[in-house]
Amino acid sequence: MFVCFLLLCSSHSVFAESGYDLWLRYHRIDNTTLYNNYREANGEVIFPGSSDRLNAAKKELRLGLKGLLNIDLNEVQHFSKRGVMAGTPESLPLIAKTSYIDEIKKLDDEGYIIRSVTINGKQVTLIAGKKDIGVLYGVFHYLRLMQTQQSLDNLAIKEEPKLQIRVLDHWDNLNGTIERGYAGYTLWDWQRLPGYIDPRYIDYARANASIGINGTVLNNVNANARSLRTEYLIKAAALADALRPYGIKVYLTARFSAPKEIGGLKTADPLDPSVWQWWKDKVKEIYQYIPDFGGFLVKANSEGQPGPQDYKRTHADGANMMAEALEPYGGIVMWRAFVYENKRNVDRALNGFDEFKPLDGQFNKNVFIQPKNGPIDFQPREALHPLFGSMPKTPLMLEFQITQEYLGFASHLVYLGTLFEETLQSDTYAKGKGTTVSKVLQEYKKTNGISGIAGVPNIGTDINWTGHLFGQANWHAFGRLAWNPDIPVAELAEEWIRMTFSNDANVIKTVKHIMLSSHEAAVDYMTPLGLNHIMNFATHYGPGPWYKDPNWDAWDYHKADETGLGVDRTMKGSNAVSQYKSPIREKLNDIKTCPEQLLLWFHHVPWNYKMSSGRIMWDELVDHYYRGVD
């Protein structure tokens, strides 16, 4: 199939390049009719204003028009022919004379409109936002229309993000390595910061802004307390300055024991007044260097990380301590729900729900609880995390993994847009049928005032950023779904193909088929029918269902014995099904109604159990493996 793709490409306009430009390849439009139409539509540009964000938007528009249409952007004061007008009511008072001024004023701060309007008898494309950042997002959208060869006539686009906080959680270490990173070393050159700003930081910011990402957690969730020392705050401030014109705030992972490790205190107890004061003083210092600092990401009491439970305190005690320090500055806490200890004979799938559900409503208003998409650990396919729909009084921030820790690293083509969509469109039944995860996440903006989503990126110093070229598509899909979780991923796959490879129908059809079938193929050859966590223990790559260890045993995740295979999480087993709303729990509890793609997740199934295909379970399992390999 991939050979066919290469042959197709050889007959169309393709470019030998490194992959560095990601989906922002502004190659000249190869359709003559569209090229001429686009040139006419962009004949003149009115784009006043000189803020950092408006300048970033102008720079991008200039770059795009030069590459796509060989047009040099020269700003004019008045139109003599067709053109583009971009800005806010403040930067471009002419906008106030249009019939769209009320709509623009009602936009949220990141929203924008792109409209075909008539001004003084001239046909004009209006790109407008209430704030400068909206104009930047609008420019990227406008260029995307041309990259994907869509009509610029009769435009009536209005966009606002469905989720407010859209962040990448970098698992980058201060020594330059990346935990579960497969594309080189960290982008952040801590040794040369703050004096040297790598131009790659700007291109990173451009790429993120183009898909709507507005936040970056700079350091690993398995945190090093040194990242909160003054010398590193100064370095982080330099990064914040570089990313700010593109609407990106920086966040830091906070090590819970930092008051002891770098603060000289004898305790990190969240109810100790001296500890509270230490965090308040540290937060005050951070905002002196980074006035728009986003807040803290925290991994506590999981995999040996320190946390409030070390002092017999709750997660709410720990999160609220940090939240109170951040609240005066508008900062947030993202407190991860990935909590477990390496203990045998315990169903790890239960931990997150059991620890956080009882605390619903006890967290400060600027605290997110951050579950992964499933209750185990970014498996090729997991059951939905039961916390979604179960904490209405506490905003949840879903965390996806973009980097392919359990999916072949950067060596396997696995398009994760389908996994993201599968999760986001899963029904929680929190308020009856149709209460999807997407709706649950969006509802928090109305009920709690904040909403968000996070992704662990696959970005490194490799020239093409993600190691595997198609890994770029997963970064792209996450960002676009973070902006709007309900975009069909088939549309996003096609969009990425058009912007990356070609607008030719045969190329699109071929590559789209590869992408949209790749995740299911990976599940089939790695963890079919709901099997999970049977990979090599250390690397999470390659099979390892036989792994045994005093603290961790693969058998706990597959329970293979002479009678059958799979983990009994029914009411007669660990009772994980009880964490889900009705009618989901009843459906999962019954082996006859449990979806076969999750059968071994929830049931210990006899080897000769008759499947819907008519085959016994063992033969069905083998068939899935071979189908995936094929």
Catalytic positions? 303, 377, 405
CA dist., res. 469 & res. 22, Å (int):
9
Q: Is 496 helix (H, G, I), strand (E, B) or coil?
A: helix
Q: Which two tokens stand for residue 116?
A: 């075909």
The Cα 174–Cα 224 span in angstroms is 8
The type of residue at 525 is: Y
Ramachandran sector of residue 449 (left: φ over 0; alpha: ψ -120 to 50; beta: rest): left
Amino acid in the structure at residue 7: L
Sign of the alpha-carbon torsion through 571, 574, 579, 580 = negative
CB contact at 8 A, 5 and 514: yes
**Which residues, 6+ apart, have CB-to-CB distance to 468 below 8 Å?**
182, 410, 411, 412, 413
350's CB contacts (< 8 A; 6+ apart) are 375, 574, 576, 579
Give the residue carrying structure tokens 């040794």: 191
- Cα 95 from Cα 102, distance rounded (Å): 10
Residues 6 or more apart in contact with residue 439 via CB below 8 angstroms: none
Alpha helices in 308-360 (DSSP H): 315-326, 351-356
The answer to whether the bond into 595 is cis (omega within 30° of 0) is no
Return the percent helix, strand and coil in the chain, to nearest 5.
40, 15, 45
Asked whether 398 and 423 are in contact (CB, 8 A), the reply is: yes
Inter-residue contact 198 to 189 (CB < 8 Å): yes
To the nearest 10°, the Cα dihedral for 580, 585, 587, 589? 130
Given a contact cutoff of 8 angstroms between Cβ atoms, the answer to whether 220 and 179 are in contact is yes
Instruction: Say how many CA atoms lie within 13 Å of 244 toward its Cβ.
Output: 14
